[in-house]
């Protein structure tokens, strides 16, 4: 196995495999196995099968615990946004896993190394291998570095309502008091309008308007979130 | 909570909940919550979200370990056959969980208590509650009683080839030597026919015929499996 991969895992994630053959298998694409039949290698597909379920449980537990007031439907949507090809392939790239996967020549020449489906499978296979080698909690540690910060930062929060998303973002480093105040309401009863201001620790961070307090609050939160994200960049 | 449920769990599965409120929540359907808003109950949907992932991982790990030669595609098919509404609702009934779920009147009157989707969710919610209360390995113990024996008995084996299924069934209580013998072959080269006999511990248990040894073996295994299942009843 590429020594560089071992070093990267040790340096970045404090991971040292006991069964190095599991790590090798995780980084062996079926196209490589097919082109090297004499080596009797096993590809990473069975590990991917396992890793997929490992990831699903860890993300589910995380969401269940972190968003204790959210209904099941919202948790399911968030989970789907995290555990999907698009997200997982990005995680694989961020970990530089794409540099180490062993591909057949055909797959290499057709840019397999950048193909999201392949990278997604690679990421899951790695999780499966790590799980078999060192158990569930070690995989949790790895995801705590690679995935959880993104959930906290609201990367998947388009699946949440804006108020929850704002709360997530502002409270990621500890408790922050967020308050919504009705600034005013006007208009006739059948066409009422509400103005809401949202404050964080007493500081005005957004305003919104709508036909109900609820929609006005959502707009205020969306505005605050957008401002916050823009200023962070 | 119904004391009968506690007794049933203790007697049949050696399960005693520490956080009884988790068990209560698992058995509380949303229709009951809606009809008893003054009680401020929480329904079992969030627990079902979690339990679904718990089940997926445990079944995946079981299949991965038990069928070490099967490719990912076959494992995925088997997992889907086990973790599906039809199977899970049957497990819930076999555990008598249907007798204890708290339903609203409307749901009760429209036979909600026998509805597969509801029973499936109930089973998953129970697993979620048990996981939170006592951890993953305790859920494994429970499934070892309720689900694994069915996998071993070949209930989901229509997803496997017959030879593997036969092996599973015969070897469930220890190693059993299974041998396939070519009895004869005949016919012209372009229309060759093979006769295969399958033996378990030296005893003939099935015969099969086909245009290749492989298909003849599959037929012999299917015949042996069918005979075995019929005699067991």
**Domains contained in chain B, CATH given:** 3-158 (1.10.1520.10), 161-232 (3.30.160.20)
- Is the pLDDT assigned to residue A222 strictly greater than 60? yes
H/E stretch holding A193: strand A193-200
Decide if A124 is catalytic: yes
Percent of chain B with pLDDT over 70: 97
pLDDT of residue B231: 75
Q: Quick check: B30 contacting A, CB < 8 Å?
A: no
**Residue A175 tokens, joined:** 């408790």
Q: Do B61 and A72 touch (CB under 8 A)?
A: no
- Active-site option among B124, B168, B197, B217: B124
- How far, in Å, CA of A21 to CA of A129, rounded? 9
Q: Is A75 on the interface with B (CB under 8 A)?
A: yes
In the structure, what pLDDT confidence band is assigned to residue B154 with cuts at 50, 70 and 90?
Answer: confident
For residue A60, the distance in angstroms to the closest alpha carbon of chain B comes to 6
Collapsed DSSP state (helix, strand, coil) of residue A78 = helix
> What's the confidence (pLDDT) of residue B140?
98
Residue-level length of chain B: 233
Partner-chain contact A60 B76, CB within 8 Å: no
User: CA A156, CA A145: separation in Å to the nearest integer?
Assistant: 16
**pLDDT of amino acid A164:** 80
Determine what percent of chain A is predicted with pLDDT higher than 70. 97
% of residues, chain A, pLDDT over 90? 62
Q: Which is the catalytic residue, given A24, A43, A107, A124? A: A124
Read off the DSSP letter of residue B28: B
Q: Is B57 in the A-facing interface, judged by CB distances under 8 Å?
A: yes
* pLDDT of B233 strictly over 60: no
> What pLDDT band is residue A1 in, cutting at 50, 70 and 90?
low
Compare CB distances from A49 to B46, B54, B76 and report the shortest one's residue. B76
The pLDDT of residue B229 is above 90: no
Please state the residue numbers annotated as binding site of B for Mg(2+).
48, 121, 124
Give the Å distances, CA to CA, from B142 to B14, B35, B130. 9, 32, 9
Query: What is the per-residue pLDDT across A34-80, written as a single tens digit (0 to 9) for each?
Result: 999 999 999 999 999 999 999 999 999 999 999 998 899 889 988 98
Query: What's the rounded Cα separation, in Å, for the pair A127 and A110?
Result: 26
pLDDT of residue B160: 61
Q: Which among A46, A71, A72 has CB closest to B64?
A: A46
Contact list, B136 vs chain A (CB under 8 Å): 136
**Position with higher pLDDT, A154 vs B5:** B5
What is the pLDDT confidence band of residue A233, given thresholds at 50, 70 and 90?
Answer: low
- For residue B71, the chain A residues in CB contact (below 8 A) are 45-46
pLDDT of residue A160: 61
State the Cα–Cα distance between residues B166 and B208, nearest whole angstrom: 14
Q: Which of A53, A64, A73 sits opposite B57 (nearest CB)?
A: A53
**Is residue B52 among the annotated active site residues?**
yes
Q: What pLDDT is attached to residue B158?
A: 63
Q: Do A45 and B72 touch (CB under 8 A)?
A: yes
Q: Are A195 and A209 in contact (CB under 8 A)?
A: yes
The answer to whether B161 contacts chain A (CB < 8 Å) is: no
Mean pLDDT of chain A: 91
Question: Which contacts (CB < 8 Å, 24+ apart) does range B211-215 have?
Answer: B213/B182
Please provide the average confidence, as pLDDT, over all residues in chain B. Answer: 91
Mean pLDDT, range B36-61, rounded to an integer: 96
For residue B72, the chain A residues in CB contact (below 8 A) are 45-46, 48-49
List the single range of A119-128, A130-139, B186-195 with lowest mean pLDDT. B186-195
Q: What is the pLDDT of residues B126-152, one digit of tens each?
A: 999 999 999 999 999 999 999 999 888
Indicate whether B20 pLDDT > 60.
Answer: yes
- Express each pLDDT in A125-180 by its tens digit: 999 999 999 999 999 999 999 999 988 877 776 656 788 878 878 887 778 899 99
Q: Is A226 annotated as a binding residue?
A: no
Neighboring chain B residues of A59 at a CB cutoff of 8 Å: 53
Question: Which residues lie below 8 Å from residue B214, measured CB to CB, with a gap of 6+?
Answer: none
DSSP labels, B189-217: GGG-EEEEEEEETTEEEEEEEESSHHHHH
Among partner residues A50, A60, A70, which is closest to B61 by beta-carbon distance?
A50
- Give the rounded percent of residues in chain B with a pLDDT score beyond 90: 62
- A16 pLDDT band, cuts 50/70/90, is very high
Q: Touching check for B46 and chain A: CB below 8 Å? A: yes
Which residues of A are less than 8 Å from B54 in CB distance? Answer: 57, 60
Residue pairs between chains A and B whose CB atoms are closer than 8 Å: 58
In this prediction, residues B66-92 reach a mean pLDDT of: 91
């Amino acid at each position: 196995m590429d020594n560089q991969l071992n070093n990267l895992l040790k340096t970045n994630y404090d991971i040292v495999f006991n069964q190095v053959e599991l790590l090798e298998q995780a980084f062996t694409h079926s196209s490589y196995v097919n082109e090297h039949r004499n080596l009797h290698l096993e590809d990473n597909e069975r590990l991917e099968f396992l890793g997929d379920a490992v990831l699903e449980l860890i993300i589910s537990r995380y969401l269940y615990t972190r968003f204790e007031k959210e209904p099941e439907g919202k948790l399911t949507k968030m989970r789907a946004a995290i555990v999907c090809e698009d997200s997982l392939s990005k995680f694989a790239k961020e970990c530089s896993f794409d540099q180490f996967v062993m591909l057949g020549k055909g797959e290499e020449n057709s840019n397999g190394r950048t193909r999201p489906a392949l990278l997604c499978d690679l990421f899951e296979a790695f999780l499966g291998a790590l799980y078999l080698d060192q158990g569930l909690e070690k995989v949790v540690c790895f995801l705590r570095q690679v995935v959880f910060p993104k959930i906290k930062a609201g990367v998947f929060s388009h699946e949440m309502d804006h108020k929850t998303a704002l709360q997530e973002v502002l409270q990621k480093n500890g408790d922050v008091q967020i308050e919504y105040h009705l600034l005013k309401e006007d208009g006739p009863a059948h066409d009422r309008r509400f103005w809401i201001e949202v404050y964080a620790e007493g500081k005005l961070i957004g305003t919104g308007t709508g036909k109900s307090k609820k929609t006005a609050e959502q707009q205020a939160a969306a505005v605050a979130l957008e401002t916050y994200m823009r200023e962070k960049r």
